[in-house]
């Protein structure tokens, strides 16, 4: 009789038990849900490139994002400094199911270059961020596996394995530490097509905007294979400033200043 009483007590727990895959998907959906409704945003960026010898170069950019209902976000990045890259602009349309659309405007050539889906694992403007790293993360484009809870720099996080389901990704998988407070990635390890550790990204200096939206103040991407680093600093975040689809069409690349 005692055995049956114990089973009855456990039934409510068993009914809500989740597989690691279900738990990972639940975390990803919650992270996506918490970031809905920002409409549009923009920020100033400083990018510092550091090679294996320690030599550094600095670039300054403006980044804009438009939230799109029923599809992935649109993003536009415009380079303002130094002079040799001034006017260069990168436009990205993230899609939920289809391959993302991405274009690069090169002012020296005065033309817009479409980025092939096969080339999105390549480096973005010589940085350690790949073109695919700059697309918004749509839940449906990955599979998820919850691994454990763990602290990163004293912050509680969910640890998940994420695998891309789309073709031509440069990664077999990534290990993501998702902040339990912010539901934003605070550390990501990227594994290449040979399943070797390629890069680690750390996000720091988060601030909350509009009482809801967490954004990083800094990101550091370290390439363990080349020993190169890219450090991004974000400032002057603005939200709901009235950006429209016209600000993110291909003609906007040539208008970018």
**What is the per-residue pLDDT across 40-98, written as a single tens digit (0 to 9) for each?**
999 999 999 999 999 999 999 999 999 998 888 999 999 999 998 899 999 989 888 77
Note whether residue 190 is domain-resident. yes
Residue 219 pLDDT greater than 90, yes or no: yes
Question: Could you tell me the CATH number of the domain that includes residue 202?
Answer: 2.50.20.10
Note whether residue 149 is domain-resident. yes
**Domain count within the chain:** 1
Range of the structural domain that residue 115 is part of: 20-255
Angle CA 219–118–109, to nearest 5: 80
**pLDDT band at residue 119 under the 50/70/90 scheme:** low
User: Nearest-CA neighbor of 221 among 146, 145, 136, 134?
Assistant: 134
pLDDT of 124: 82
Angle CA 209–212–218, to nearest 5: 50
Q: To the nearest whole number, what is the mean pLDDT of the chain?
A: 88
How far apart are alpha carbons 161 and 167 in whole angstroms? Answer: 18
Note whether residue 83 is domain-resident. yes
**What is the per-residue pLDDT across 3-17, written as a single tens digit (0 to 9) for each?**
444 444 544 544 467
Q: What is the mean pLDDT of residues 100-128?
A: 82
pTM of the full structure:
0.87
**What is the per-residue pLDDT across 196-212, written as a single tens digit (0 to 9) for each?**
999 999 999 999 999 99
How far apart are alpha carbons 57 and 34 in whole angstroms? Answer: 35
């Amino acid at each position: 009789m005692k055995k049956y009483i114990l089973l009855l007590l456990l039934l409510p727990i068993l009914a809500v038990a989740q597989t690691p895959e279900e738990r990972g998907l639940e975390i990803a959906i919650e992270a996506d849900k918490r970031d809905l409704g920002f409409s549009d945003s923009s920020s100033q960026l400083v990018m510092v490139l550091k090679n294996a010898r320690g030599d550094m170069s600095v670039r300054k950019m403006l980044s804009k994002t438009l939230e799109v209902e029923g599809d992935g976000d649109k993003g536009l990045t415009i380079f303002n400094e130094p002079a040799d890259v001034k006017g260069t602009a990168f436009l990205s349309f993230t899609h939920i199911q289809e391959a993302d659309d991405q274009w690069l405007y090169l002012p020296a050539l005065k033309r817009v270059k479409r980025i092939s889906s096969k080339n999105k694992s390549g480096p973005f403007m010589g940085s350690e961020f790949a073109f695919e790293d700059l697309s918004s993360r749509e839940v449906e484009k990955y599979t998820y596996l919850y691994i454990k809870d763990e602290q990163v720099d004293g912050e509680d996080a969910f640890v998940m394995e994420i695998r891309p389901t789309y073709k031509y990704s440069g990664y077999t998988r990534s290990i993501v530490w998702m902040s339990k407070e912010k539901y934003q990635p605070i550390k990501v390890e990227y594994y290449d097509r040979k399943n070797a550790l390629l890069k680690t990204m750390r996000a720091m200096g988060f601030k909350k905007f509009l009482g809801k939206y967490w954004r990083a103040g800094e990101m550091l991407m370290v390439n363990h294979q080349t020993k190169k680093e890219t450090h991004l600093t974000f400032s002057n975040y603005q939200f709901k400033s009235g950006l429209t689809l016209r600000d993110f069409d291909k003609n906007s690349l040539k208008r970018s200043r």
